[in-house]
Amino acid sequence: MSTPGPRAGAQDADCVVVGGGPGGMVLAYLLARARVRVTLLEAHQDFDRDFRGDSLHPYTLELLDTLGLAADLLRLPHFTARRFRFHTPHGTVTTADYGRLPGPYPYVALMPQARFLSFLAQRAAELPDFTLGLGAKVNGLITRADGAVQGVRYRARDGERELRAPLTVAVDGRFSTMRRLCGLPTESLGASSDLLWFRLPRRADDPPEADLELYFGRDHYVGLLGGVNDWQVGYTLPKGGYAAAREAGVAPIQEFVAAHVPWLADRVPLLTGFDRTRLLSVDIARAQRWHRPGFLMLGDAAHVISPVGGNGILMAVQDAVAAFNLLVPVLRAQEPLTDPVLAAVQESRQQAIDRVQAQQVRVERRVAHRRDTGRSLAPPRLVKLVTALPGAQVRAARANAYGPNPPRLDTRALAR
């Protein structure tokens, strides 16, 4: 599955994709299916990082179905989530009911991201125009005299290398090295919370209706994501509150989970210390400009999505589809990857990203206001009334399942 990668010298590919997350892997696979020579560089030796996004929304599953991949992917172990619920002092509220959506995939598939990425990498490796380089740490850009990017320099296991291509796509995440190398800064839109993730084992007698759950207390809440063998538990902290939480130890977290998720109380002692947790410093940020000649950013490299809504993977995959639709004709014609060409990709996605981030910012500001005024973080009683209105749960599910203005894959570009 992994190859050393090209040596310095020739034009080695039509496109180099930097970053082997969902957006980068989907884009590389699509380009290879279109007979565009693509090399994907991933800095790590494998895809196995814990507590990354695991949510495959109906849009993503339908895309994979179009590509003939969904059936095989869903034979791999995964958890099917059909509802998103709030557990509040006023009762349990179903905010989104995916099970009532039309279409072949009325659910969110929760699958470890490493499993999803390995599956896609294996299928991409079957295509003659795909090359994967693992352990490839990009440390420089190859540019022309006019500043246009023409490839990357990177460190592989056997030394320094160059990879030349008319298009470089950075999908290397929120702390993007490529964004820094290109000098494209981001603006933080603010976040009021951080998340402390840990796992607790799943048992056969756990509530069968539990899927995607938020359990609210006065000053904290926990999110639960179902898995085949365990639950991912996300405990909220005030922004910058990690040091104080670590000083207090895990006892307050154990007590909160036992009190608000009582069916997990007997497993809470398994959280023995902070070495069993992972901090996610939440952010919402965006680059005003996603591109320069020969260079394009997608996913969190261009716009950092918070965990609110669980749609970071969805946005990155949709970025990849939009980029594929617009760039394949240009790459095939060997036309220059100029600013107007690349700006069209950003323009096609900007409104959707702005809407998603605006909603996330509203949630963060609401939480911050409640903390600042000493009010409970639990949603007001009105939420239960609103979500009980006819069609409200389906509309919320559809909005989350597909996002705003979802791009349709141009299947005419795929090689038969």
The fold adopted by the segment(s) 15-78+109-188+284-365 is FAD/NAD(P)-binding domain (3.50.50)
Give the mean pLDDT of 86-101. 93
Above 80 in pLDDT, residue 231?
Answer: yes
For residues 23 and 317, the answer to whether their CB atoms sit within 8 Å is yes
Q: Which of 185, 159, 181 is nearest to 170 (CA)?
A: 181
DSSP structure class, residue 388: T
**What is residue 211's predicted lDDT score, i.e. its pLDDT?**
86
4, pLDDT greater than 50: no
Summarised one tens digit per residue, pLDDT across range 323-369 is 999 999 999 999 999 999 999 999 999 999 999 999 999 999 999 99
pLDDT at 213 over 80: yes
Percentage of the chain surpassing pLDDT 70? 96
Q: Can you tell me the mean pLDDT for 42-52?
A: 80
Write out the DSSP string of 129-161: TEEEEET-EEEEEEE-TTS-EEEEEEEETTEEE
For the residues 258-277, what does the mean pLDDT come to? 96
Residue 10 has pLDDT above 70, yes or no: no
Find out if CATH 3.30.70.1060 is the number for domain 193-238+241-280.
no
Tell me the pLDDT tens digit for each residue of 134-172. 999 999 999 999 999 999 999 998 899 999 999 999 999
- Asked if residue 307 lies in contact with residue 195, where contact means CB atoms within 8 angstroms, the answer is yes
> What is the pTM assigned to this prediction?
0.94
Task: Name the strand (E) or helix (H) holding 352.
Answer: helix 339-372
pLDDT at residue 9, as a whole number:
46
Q: Could you identify the residue written with the tokens 């809407």?
A: 355
Structure token pair of residue 260: 């608000």
| Range name among 30-44, 110-124, 208-222 with the lowest pLDDT average | 208-222
pLDDT at 47: 87
What is the DSSP secondary-structure string of 63-114?
HHHHTT-HHHHTTS--EEE-EEEEEETTEEEEEEEGGG-SSS--SEEE--HH
Which has more pLDDT, 1 or 237?
A: 237
Indicate the pLDDT class of residue 210, thresholds 50, 70 and 90: confident
pLDDT for the residue 7: 47
Phi-psi region of 102 (alpha: psi -120 to 50; beta: other; left: phi over 0): beta
> Bridge partners of 109?
56, 80
Spell out the domain ranges in the chain.
15-78+109-188+284-365, 193-238+241-280
Which pLDDT belongs to residue 5? 44
Q: What are phi and psi of 312, to 5 degrees?
A: -65, -45
Burial label for 205, CB within 10 Å (0-12, 13-18, 19+), is exposed
Q: Are 94 and 84 in contact (CB under 8 A)?
A: yes
Based on its alpha-carbon atoms, the radius of gyration of the chain, rounded to whole angstroms, reads 22
| pLDDT confidence of residue 11 | 60
**Which residue's structure tokens are 């951080």?**
194
At 86 the pLDDT is: 94
Largest Cα–Cα distance of the chain, in whole Å?
66
pLDDT (0 to 100) of residue 8: 45
Which one is predicted more confidently, 52 or 386? 386
How many Cβ atoms are within 10 Å of 135's Cβ, its own excluded?
A: 18
Residue 305 to residue 188: CA distance in whole angstroms: 11
Residue 50: pLDDT band with limits 50, 70, 90: low
Q: What is the pLDDT of residues 403-415, one digit of tens each?
A: 999 999 999 999 7
- pLDDT for 24 equals 97
> Could you give phi then psi for residue 236, rounded to 5 degrees?
-80, 145
The pLDDT score that the predictor gives to residue 51 is 53
What pLDDT is attached to residue 73? 98
Cα 276 to Cα 269: distance, rounded to the nearest angstrom:
12
Residues constituting the chain: 416
